[in-house]
Amino acid sequence: MPVKWRKAWNNMDFNHVPVLYEECISNLKIKENGIYVDGTLGGGGHALGIAEHLGKDGTLIGIDRDTDAIEAAGKRLSDVSCAVKLVHDTYSNIRGVLENLGIDGINGALLDIGVSSFQLDNKGRGFSYMQDAPLDMRMNRDDEFSAYDVVNGYDKNHLAEIIKNYGEEKWASRISDFIVNKRKNGKIETTGQLVDIIKAAIPASARRDGPHPAKRTFQAIRIEVNSELEQLKHAIDEFCDILLPGGRLCIITFHSLEDRIVKESFNRRLNPCTCPKEFPVCVCGKVSDMKKVTGKPIVSGKDELNDNPRARSAKLRVIEKKRY
């Protein structure tokens, strides 16, 4: 993205800096009269780029489970020439969304997985370990289940399991022990309290290097609260199925758990054969309807990393529906 655009995004109220912007727009191969979905609308950064490449006969569908995102994106997209349909839902329900809109197929889609910059920077949402706030982390504030319920309700083993599996945290068991012991003195209600517990649990020698000591635990709890990995696993095949011939699916991930799901799901679509490896020829008859676009994932360049440090872990993978 040109420097002037990056500065403009940074000055906008929603504070949403679209990651790998140029790479996403380029890889979508946008047709002026096509139908495109931004399944993780956020502040509308990527969505605006898509909309500006569409003509008056084109359609942009924006989906987000955060009503604040829907409102902000609606303002940002108010002057585009294409049709805009904003939907408060989860991207994994893409079939239901399209059915309600009377649409059978789409020409392309983008998913930018994980928490948005706005959600991280909005103190009251409880996503950040850098600001003290109520334990929340709900992407959809209509949901009842929150980080408070995880931290105060899960038993020691369950806590350790999600922190280890979703945060890839080596100190998961110790952190879980400290959380459960602290609960004996009263409920843990704020992110600041949780950060202090995590810091106490991780030995000082292990805290000197690497990321913030609470990063992995916060990631794990957020993923659990919002069922993020389950949503992603379900959505990939759904989006591949509803792509029209030549349509592309672009997915941006930010950590290894997400990227592994995307990589493995794409590979299954590209190689659907279920025959045993020792069979000399395929007898199951399953043939791929998809085409690989990216081998290794696309990552941010030096200029983007200088302007947006949060892009450092972003990876973009792209797959295309075959033309017949």
Query: Do the Cβ atoms of 91 and 111 come closer than 8 Å?
Result: yes
Give tens-digit pLDDT for 120-156.
878 889 999 999 999 999 999 999 999 999 999 999 9
Query: Are residues 203 and 232 located together in one domain of the fold?
Result: no
Query: Are residues 129 and 189 located together in one domain of the fold?
Result: yes
Query: Are residues 156 and 175 located together in one domain of the fold?
Result: yes
| 5: pLDDT strictly greater than 70 | no
Question: How would residue 116 be classed by pLDDT, with cut points 50, 70 and 90?
Answer: confident
Query: Are residues 114 and 257 located together in one domain of the fold?
Result: yes
Looking up residue 86, the CATH number of its domain turns out to be: 3.40.50.150
Predicted model pTM: 0.91
Query: Are residues 237 and 179 located together in one domain of the fold?
Result: no
Query: Are residues 235 and 249 located together in one domain of the fold?
Result: yes
Residue 125: predicted pLDDT? 92
Query: Are residues 79 and 130 located together in one domain of the fold?
Result: no
Report the number of distinct structural domains present in the chain: 2
Using only C-alpha atoms, what is the Rg of the chain?
A: 21
Give tens-digit pLDDT for 252-268.
999 999 999 999 999 99
71-80: average pLDDT: 94
Query: Are residues 133 and 268 located together in one domain of the fold?
Result: no
Query: Are residues 32 and 155 located together in one domain of the fold?
Result: no
Question: How would residue 309 be classed by pLDDT, with cut points 50, 70 and 90?
Answer: confident
Query: Are residues 113 and 214 located together in one domain of the fold?
Result: no
The residue among 226, 261, 289 that closes a domain is 226
Residue 15: predicted pLDDT? 52
The residue among 226, 252, 267 that closes a domain is 226
* Amino acid code (one letter) for 11: N
Query: Are residues 19 and 38 located together in one domain of the fold?
Result: yes
| 10: pLDDT strictly greater than 60 | no
Residue 9: predicted pLDDT? 39
Residue 324: predicted pLDDT? 75
The distance of Cα 176 from the centroid of its chain, to the nearest Å, equals 26
Residue 246: its H or E element: strand 243-253
Q: Which domain holds residue 210?
A: 124-226
Place of tokens 């805290």: 207
Instruction: Report the alpha-carbon distance of residue 29 to residue 260 in Å, rounded.
Output: 25
Looking up residue 146, the CATH number of its domain turns out to be: 1.10.150.170
Place of tokens 């500065």: 7
Query: Are residues 179 and 265 located together in one domain of the fold?
Result: no
| 11: pLDDT strictly greater than 50 | no
The residue among 226, 246, 279 that closes a domain is 226
| 220: pLDDT strictly greater than 50 | yes
The residue among 249, 306, 312, 311 whose CA lies nearest residue 24 is: 249
